[in-house]
Structure 1
Amino acid sequence: MEYNEFITHVQSLAQSNSREEAERATRATLETIKERISGDEALNLSTQLPQELGDCLKGREGQPDESFNFQDFIVRASQKENLEPTTTAIHVRAVFAVLQSAVTPVEFAKLHHHFSHDYEEMFATPPTSEVTA
């Protein structure tokens, strides 16, 4: 999936007012994913995304998972976006849905493995190809 397509899907699913908001949401979510999963897994995930997005996942190579719950994930992402957590939660869901379509099922399953059960709603979303069809 190309960068513009990824951002367009996030903007649509999140019902964002602007492309810039969708870009901020995507970067904030990916950077928070990078904090949550091992650095090596983040690097693997980055290889399946456009470079502009993959770069958000780099920089923690060799570091282990950092354990924090879903609420903390939303708080961290909302601080990066500089938005209210309720709005950020919508954005995070949109990014996860697009991410599921952008990477291979095997890679998405590996990503899922790094998250605790309180994140399940992020992994229950159908891929965007099904959402937009």
Structure 2
Amino acid sequence: MSTNFSGFVGEVQHRIDAGNQADAVRTTRAVLTTLGERVVEGGATDIAGPLPMEIDRYLLAAEHGHTYDYDAFIQRVVDRLNYADLDLETGYGRPSQIEPGEAVYRAKAVVALLTETVPGGKIAHVEAQLPEEFDELFEFAEAETKPWAADPG
């Protein structure tokens, strides 16, 4: 698995079937920032290590150790995906219209890529910090056939 910025974002773009790289970057930022908030600082640091520095900052800059349930996690991802946070005439600055169901898919896709990029013990440590209801977040990582790898024909 490529651990450079372009490779990671390109893989996210493929997995979420994004029309452009900006959408993949926004998704990566939304999911990893929210995950970084939900785990303790040490857990965020562990999983950030193998990631490209342009991406690991989403985990590292978060305010760590929040405790909220899975539904609140997804709502935070939705809020981040749909927030117009930059005053630019680009895809980065325009809010998306992402519904919670799509946010769940995107979160699972990014977490699956994270599990492929980060050594298993570090992921297991982070997964252990989350309540059982978060197991759904790791669904694609544990699936034998990934949705983005399905044969279209």
* Interval containing the TM-score (normalised by the shorter chain): 0.7 to 0.9
For residue 52 of structure 2, what is the aligned residue in structure 1?
Answer: 50
CA distance in 2 between partners of 1:86 and 1:18 (Å) = 20
2:88 counterpart of 1:73: no
CA deviation after TM superposition for structure 1 residue 84, in Å: 2.4
Moved over 6 A (4+): none
For residue 127 of structure 2, what is the aligned residue in structure 1?
Answer: 112
User: Over residues 29-55 of structure 1, what are the superposed CA-to-partner deviations in whole Å (9 max), with x where a residue is unaligned?
Assistant: 000011100022212221121101111
**Taking structure 2 as the reference length, what is the TM-score of the superposition?**
0.76
CA deviation after TM superposition for structure 1 residue 127, in Å: 6.9
**Taking structure 1 as the reference length, what is the TM-score of the superposition?**
0.86
User: Over residues 99-129 of structure 1, what are the superposed CA-to-partner deviations in whole Å (9 max), with x where a residue is unaligned?
Assistant: 011100111111111111111122232379x
Contact 2:111/2:141 (8 A) holds in 1: no
SS of equivalent to 1:88: helix
Identity over aligned residues, as a percent? 25
Contact 2:43/2:126 (8 A) holds in 1: yes
Q: Which runs of 5+ in 2 are unaligned?
A: 83-97
Q: Which runs of 5+ in 1 are unaligned?
A: none
CA deviation after TM superposition for structure 1 residue 60, in Å: 5.3
Q: Name the structure where helix makes up a greater proportion of residues.
A: 1
For residue 100 of structure 1, what is the aligned residue in structure 2?
Answer: 115
Contact 2:28/2:110 (8 A) holds in 1: yes
Q: How many residues align?
A: 130
